[in-house]
Chains A and B, each alone.
Chain A
Amino acid sequence: MFEARLPQGQILKKLIEAVRELVTDANFECKPSGLSLQAMDSSHVSLVSLLMRADGFDPYQCDRNRTLGINLRTLASVLKCSSNDDIITIRAEDDGDSAILIFESPSSDRLSEFDLKLVDIDNEQLVIPDTQYDAVVRMPSAEFQRIVRDMQILGDSVTIACSKDGVKFSANGEIGSGSVRLKQSSAVDSEDDAVTVDLQQAVSLTFALRYLSLFSKAAPLSPTVTLSFSKDVPLLVEFRIADMGHLRFYLAPKIDE
């Protein structure tokens, strides 16, 4: 049997809200080490990779590897039936054709149970190579969300340039052009408010704002986001999930014709 109880159930709610517009169906790979998911968007331009380690659950039981194919829109609808402070348990019986979601109020006086039919998903898995990135930018996730939203009024692409001075986002379109430049923070009250650029070499790449906007829906998961860039490789956008794992998005660059 597979059973994973997540005391901070709202993490799962935020996760599914973050990916449900990008990915329709996904296979949750359940292993003794934890829960993972890898899926491409329907256009095969971006990739979502989720990891939730077993030690983030309490308790976590996985006797054998299981693949749970789940429609994320259905899952999102069901998760809306839980409260933010609910404890959420995911359970799957061996050889069963459904996943069971249990929502438990903090005082355990309310228990709801939903049985979700599993779906067969033909999911191509990709090997993600280890990459030494040219530039790694860390910034508040709310700032990332704001910049992506602001750039979208100008066009459908954004050029992100990293240098030793900081990071510059620029877009141009029919109505005009604009940019936002973030300097590396010198002194901040909280590390979560800082902008840092770890630079091996200056790099400038262009990406579709539509996807960055979808990625930024993960901002409620983590106060900070990390953007990793290298010339001619996909951008990595990473949100850490408390102390238990991460939600990563990879986006193929746009190439100047």
Chain B
Amino acid sequence: SYLQEGIVQYFVPI
């Protein structure tokens, strides 16, 4: 099975 990553883990908030 797969775990869905979140986009915030890759792109830093301003």
Q: Which of A126, A157, A251 contacts B13 (CB 8 A)?
A: A126
A253 vs B3: C-alpha distance when bound (angstroms): 9
- A40 contacts the other chain (Cβ, under 8 Å)? yes
- For A124, the chain B residues whose CB sits under 8 A away are 8, 13
Contacts of A209-238 to chain B: CB distance below 8 A: 233-234
A45 vs B9: C-alpha distance when bound (angstroms): 9
Taking residues whose C-beta sits less than 8 angstroms from the other chain, chain B's interface range is: 10 to 19
User: Taking the nearest CB of chain A, how far is it from the CB of B11, in angstroms?
Assistant: 4
Residue contact A250 to B2, C-beta cutoff 8 Å: no
- A129 contacts the other chain (Cβ, under 8 Å)? yes
Residue contact A234 to B10, C-beta cutoff 8 Å: yes
Residue contact B6 to A126, C-beta cutoff 8 Å: no
A126 vs B11: C-alpha distance when bound (angstroms): 6
Residue contact B14 to A252, C-beta cutoff 8 Å: no
- A254 contacts the other chain (Cβ, under 8 Å)? yes
- A90 contacts the other chain (Cβ, under 8 Å)? no
A188 vs B8: C-alpha distance when bound (angstroms): 40
Residue contact A125 to B13, C-beta cutoff 8 Å: yes
Residue contact A253 to B12, C-beta cutoff 8 Å: no
Apart from A44-B8, A46-B7, A126-B12, what are 12 other A-B pairs with CB-CB below 8 Å? A44-B7, A45-B5, A125-B13, A127-B12, A129-B11, A234-B10, A250-B7, A250-B11, A252-B9, A254-B5, A256-B2, A257-B3
